[in-house]
Amino acid sequence: MRWGKLGLLVEPPRDLPWMVSHAALPVVDVTASGLRVYFSGRDGRGRGHIGRVDVDVRRRRVLAVSQAPVLSPGPLGAFDDHGVTSACRLDVGGSTYHYYTGWNLGVTVPFYLAIGLAIDETGNGAWRRAAAGPILGRTPVDPYLAASPCVRREGDRLRMWYVSGTGWADGSPRPEHRYHIRYAESRDGVTWERAGRVCIDFRDEGEHAIARPCVLRDGDLYRMWYCHRGSAYRLGYAESRDGLTWERLDERAGLDVSPDGWDAEMIAYPFVFDADGERYMLYNGNGYGRTGIGLAVLESD
C-alpha cells in the first residue's frame, strides 16, 4: 500500500473564538457538491469544539469555514465539560448520529474520556445531545476511559471499534495513559454491548497508545487504519475477515512522516474515505492537529 501526499488541506484559521489553535480528528461527509469535513478546534482555554469546513478535494482548497461550532463543551460537571472532539458520523433511521469524545479534567490523572452522541434529526446541521451523559463511559469492562469510536452498520446491527484505556503509569512530569482498540455492538446506536474484546493490542512495552480507528470493508476484507505511538504517533494498519480478529500489518500502512514541515514529527488520527472513484486519507501531523489537516490519495494497494 502506498499513499501519495497532496499537502496541507485545512490550516487552523486561529481567528475564531472557538478555534484559536488546532484542526484535529477530521471526519468526512461526502456530499454532491464536495466534502464537508468536521473537525475539532481549541479555544483560548484549551477546550475542544467541533466545527466544519467545506472543501473542494479536486482543487484541494477550502470553500467555507463555520463561524460557530456545531458542538461545544457541555455544562459544568458533565462528562464533556472541558471539550468535545470529533469521532465519526452515521445515518440511522433518517437522522445523522455524530459520535464524539467528551473530555473531563482529572486530579490524579490529567483527563477522563467518554463517548457521547449528538443527533441531527433534520439535516440542517442542528445537533442535539442524545443524553446528558455518555453512551459509553467507564464500566467494569472499560474501567479507565472510552473514546474515539468508529461505527459501521451491517444488517440489523451496528458495529463499533473504539479506544479503551488499560491504565495509567507513573510518569514525569505527569502520568502516562495506556489505551488500545476494542469492540462493541448495538441494535439502535445508543445502547451498546461490550465484553472487552480487544482488536488491536500493544506490540511491546514501548507502545502505550493506539488511537483513532477507522474501519472500511472491501468485500470480505475489513481494513483498519489507526495511529500508534511510543514517543510520537505513526500510521498503523490491520486487516480482518470478521472485524473481530485482526492482524497488524503496520509495515503496509504506506504513509510516514516527511523530512521536514508540518508533518515531519508525527502522523496521527487518520480518516479514510472514498470519493470520485479515489480513496483518500485525511490525517493530522505535528502537535496532534496544531498544524492542521493533510490529504493523501491511495496510489497502490
Please indicate whether residue 124 or residue 156 has the higher confidence score (pLDDT): 156
pLDDT band at 74 (very low <50, low <70, confident <90, very high): very high
pTM of the model: 0.96
The per-residue pLDDT for range 220-252, each reduced to its tens digit, is 999 999 999 999 999 999 999 999 999 999 999
Confidence grade of residue 117 (pLDDT, cut at 50, 70, 90): very high
Q: How does residue 171 score in pLDDT terms, banded at 50, 70 and 90?
A: confident
The secondary structure of the chain in percent helix, strand, coil, rounded to multiples of 5, reads: 0, 60, 40
Distance of alpha carbon 251 from alpha carbon 31, whole angstroms:
33
Mean pLDDT within 174-185: 96
pLDDT band per the 50, 70, 90 thresholds, residue 158: very high
pLDDT number for residue 81: 98
Query: For cell 488520527, what's the residue?
Result: 269
Taking the C-alpha atoms of residue 228 and residue 236, their distance in angstroms, rounded to an integer, is 6
Query: In the structure grid, which three cell numbers stand for residue 187, read together?
Result: 441494535
**Poorest-pLDDT segment among 12-21, 76-85, 86-95, 239-248:** 12-21
Amino acid 57: pLDDT: 82
* In the chain, % of residues over pLDDT 70: 100
Domain total in the chain: 1
Return the pLDDT at 154: 95
Query: pLDDT of 192-205, one tens digit each?
Result: 999 999 999 999 99
Give the pLDDT confidence score for residue 62 in this predicted structure.
Answer: 86
- pLDDT-based confidence at 176, cuts 50/70/90? very high
pLDDT digits (tens, 9 = 90+) for 8-51: 999 887 789 999 999 999 999 987 777 899 999 999 999 999 99
**Is it true that the peptide bond before 173 is cis, omega within 30 degrees of 0?**
yes
- For the chain, give the mean pLDDT: 94
Tell the residue number behind the cell numbers 483498519, with chain if given. 224
Q: Give the pLDDT confidence score for residue 30 in this predicted structure.
A: 85
Angle (nearest 5°) at CA 188 between 273 and 279: 5
- What pLDDT, on a 0 to 100 scale, did the predictor assign at position 49? 97
Over residues 210-221, the mean pLDDT reads 98
Question: In terms of Cα–Cα distance, which of 284, 273, 283, 279 is closest to 298?
Answer: 279
CATH of the domain at 127: 2.115.10.20
Q: What is the pLDDT of residue 50?
A: 97
State the residue range of the domain holding 133.
Answer: 2-300
